[in-house]
Structure 1
């Protein structure tokens, strides 16, 4: 059987061949899932982030925003990496000393462990959560709902779609705009929402 490279499969999917994406997912699912699981060490969380990763891949491809021909796997791994960082950030877990990664949307952020929190850390976490809840109040109602369900209740996008009675694409769109607006508000108010 002839091997079809990633860029050809991406092009084929963009032209409407759904099976091309299935082939790409099949090709890399173990590597992507294994990477996520090695960071979160929880099967259910890893599966959720894995699904979110490929939802983002699909949306980006369908919107015609993918432009890294020949670099499909590193691009997918970067999405998985960023979503894993988002998961840890949403849980406000303490950073451990280790390799530092650059997240282009935020500043440098470490992968996080889950040590017993000292009282000072708990105070900082409470302050971060209070600041975040305060800023979220400035968002439009639909964006606020999605953000609260995702960050504070930890629901998947499928669950958020069911909870808010919209499609997954609508839930994802609202989340995207909520994050964009949230970042603007954080910059305007000069807040730091990470533990250092």
Structure 2
């Protein structure tokens, strides 16, 4: 039976067990990176922010007045740090509304999702769908886009998302509803409209 996040945190803090911390990172790295990628749209920047996030995490956990107090889920706490790192970056770039990149190998965060399709044509179609959907998501208001990313990339509950955004649960739910509603409007009359249904969960 796998240890819980809290058990791994306790082992790391009390026994200085780096392996326990490594397990925590490996368990959640895809979610955290996926969120950062969705926020900044640049793989190199997302990698830098991922490293910065865990530098902050280690410093906070090991400091004399560590800010992690076991009162909440570890992932939610780390996501708050990742969110702050992303916001700090976008503020510095003065591009909070839409951060873009010109790197040739930049990929949509949807491309980080596994695709086990054995057929090349189906893979291409799915890649086109993800790219097309990603373009529409970029047009959403920043707070709506972030709720969508947090929900889909990290599987955080709406209560946890609300805490991260420092809003009520109803506000977080409302932002998600508006995000889906606006996506449907943008996709109205298109064959890709059904894609929105995959996000509505």
Q: TM-score, normalised by structure 1?
A: 0.48
Structure with the higher helix share, 1 or 2: 2
Structure with the higher strand share, 1 or 2: 1
Q: TM-score, normalised by structure 2?
A: 0.47
